[in-house]
Amino acid sequence: MPMMLALALTLVGGGFALLVPRPQTAVAQPGTSVLAQGRELYENACISCHGANLQGVPERGPSLVGVGDAAVYFQVSTGRMPLAREDDRGYRKDPAPQFDPATEEGRQNLAALGAYVEAGAGGPGVPAESGPELIGSDVPHGSALFRLNCASCHNFTGRGGILAGGRFPPGLQEATPEQMYTAMLSGPMAMPVFSERQLTPEEKKDIIAYVLAVRGQNNAPGGYALGEFGPVTEGVVAILVGLVALVGVAAWIGARS
């Protein structure tokens, strides 16, 4: 009987522990120090154009309400933001040193800034994975998806193109997997947003794999990059291969007769 009671108590206790909500862990919510760091970075580099409450400043910068961590990562890590002057908008350049994703400090600052903007106003976050984890394995699938969703603006091999109204969608030769993923999530300027429903994370990763796979071929309009000398080398190779084949056939005929 005492054993039964102990068992019953354990079961009730266990069930109770499952039902009671756990307190939010520190991992789910960025710590206050991270938010404070993000706020400081924001106030130094962004507030003049995007406002004290992310609401935007007329004639200077749009509202950042709802753009999320993904847009911040994309815009700042590709050097588009912080804007230096009103006129040099929308082009990739070297990121500000303090936001360079190639450095540990840069990655921390980007994360803090993104956490601050997202904590204030929501929006899509950056993917939890990074680097090679964002590269899918199904390149043909990525190629088909790229043709459907991206090639109309970025060209079949990601070389960039022209939009109506004189906008130039950039080539995709430089974007990192993180930048490609957050570009899709945030849809900068004339680019549409591709939410996780429109293109699942797996589909986004396959697109990234495709873009990376065709990157090396972009400089050789004639086809495969044979030492990057262009179509001339291809012609030479074709002639050589043809000659060898002809000699082989001649020798074969000679041997038979």
Angstrom distances, CA of residue 94 to CA of 82, 86, 171, 189? 11, 17, 15, 19
Nearer to ligand HEC, 65 or 220 (CB): 65
Residue 209, interface with ligand HEC (CB under 6 A)?
no
What token pair was written down for 130? 């990074």
- Fill in the amino acid letter for 159: R
Residue 101, interface with ligand HEC (CB under 6 A)?
no
The single residue among 115, 172, 185, 209 that binds ligand HEC, judged by CB under 6 A, is 172
C-beta of 131: minimal distance to ligand HEC in Å? Answer: 15
Residue 186, interface with ligand HEC (CB under 6 A)?
yes
The single residue among 64, 135, 185, 214 that binds ligand HEC, judged by CB under 6 A, is 64
Nearer to ligand HEC, 90 or 231 (CB): 90
Planar angle of CA 200, 202, 208, nearest 5 degrees:
105
Angstrom distances, CA of residue 145 to CA of 9, 142, 173? 56, 5, 18
Nearer to ligand HEC, 215 or 230 (CB): 215
Residue 50, interface with ligand HEC (CB under 6 A)?
yes
Cβ neighbours for 55, distance < 8 A, ≥ 6 positions apart: 63, 65
Residue 154, interface with ligand HEC (CB under 6 A)?
yes
What token pair was written down for 75? 């815009």
